[in-house]
Amino acid sequence: GETVTVPLSDEALNLFAAYKNEDQTRLLGISDSLRAAWAKTAGRVARIALILHEADDSGEWSISAGTMEKAIQISRWFDQEVERIYQQFGVCQPAETGLIEFLREQGEVAPRDLQQWRRTRYPTADVAEQALMKLAEQGLLQRRTDSGNRGRPRTVFEWIYPDT
């Protein structure tokens, strides 16, 4: 058998590039074990897209945006299952073991505070805010916007989880 290259349509290529960028950002705030499991998700998406493309037998030469969207959805499902199983077996430990202690000590933090605390883990305020939002969704923090008297409102996250 001769190797055949199946190209991506322009739309599929844009979706794949956006997914890879999102994937790189997502890898910043997770445990080492999950990072290892998720490190090759972009390759998995490409392989799933090829399988779906061939199974569809549409006669199209390039992989469509619709096929790429399905491949990304399937890959995200795999990632969720890996995370669920890792958590179930206690393999998934926080990437930043000192983060909880930092948040407890501070009481409340703004995304910039977290960024300044661990600039390599949280290179931008947006990445820091995403990490804080995840903890808020888990019930550990409460998001609050301080309007103050002047200037731009400041978003802070307050530690609300009881110490045990």
Higher pLDDT, 92 or 135: 135
Give the tens place of pLDDT for each residue, 86-121. 776 666 555 555 677 788 888 899 999 999 988 888
Section 144-154 average pLDDT: 80
4 domain-assigned: no
What six digits make up the tokens of 138? 């888990």
CATH number of the domain within which 146 lies: 1.10.10.10
Higher pLDDT, 10 or 85: 10
What's the pLDDT score for residue 164? 39
**Gap between the Cα atoms of 40 and 113, Å rounded:** 31
What's the pLDDT score for residue 29? 62
Give yes or no: residues 78 and 108 share one domain. no
**Gap between the Cα atoms of 158 and 135, Å rounded:** 10
38 domain-assigned: yes
Section 59-82 average pLDDT: 93
Give yes or no: residues 81 and 105 share one domain. no
Give yes or no: residues 80 and 117 share one domain. no
- Pair 8, 68: CB distance under 8 Å: yes
Domain termination residue (choose one: 88, 110, 140): 88
Give yes or no: residues 123 and 75 share one domain. no
Give yes or no: residues 80 and 115 share one domain. no
Give the tens place of pLDDT for each residue, 2-60. 988 999 999 999 999 999 888 777 776 677 777 778 888 889 999 999 999 999 888 88
122 domain-assigned: yes
56 domain-assigned: yes
**Gap between the Cα atoms of 140 and 142, Å rounded:** 7
Q: Which pTM value belongs to this model?
A: 0.55
3-state secondary structure of 108: strand
Distances (CA, A) of 160 to 118, 142, 148: 22, 7, 22
Domain termination residue (choose one: 62, 88, 114): 88
50 domain-assigned: yes
**Gap between the Cα atoms of 63 and 82, Å rounded:** 27
* CB-CB neighbours of 53 under 10 Å: 22
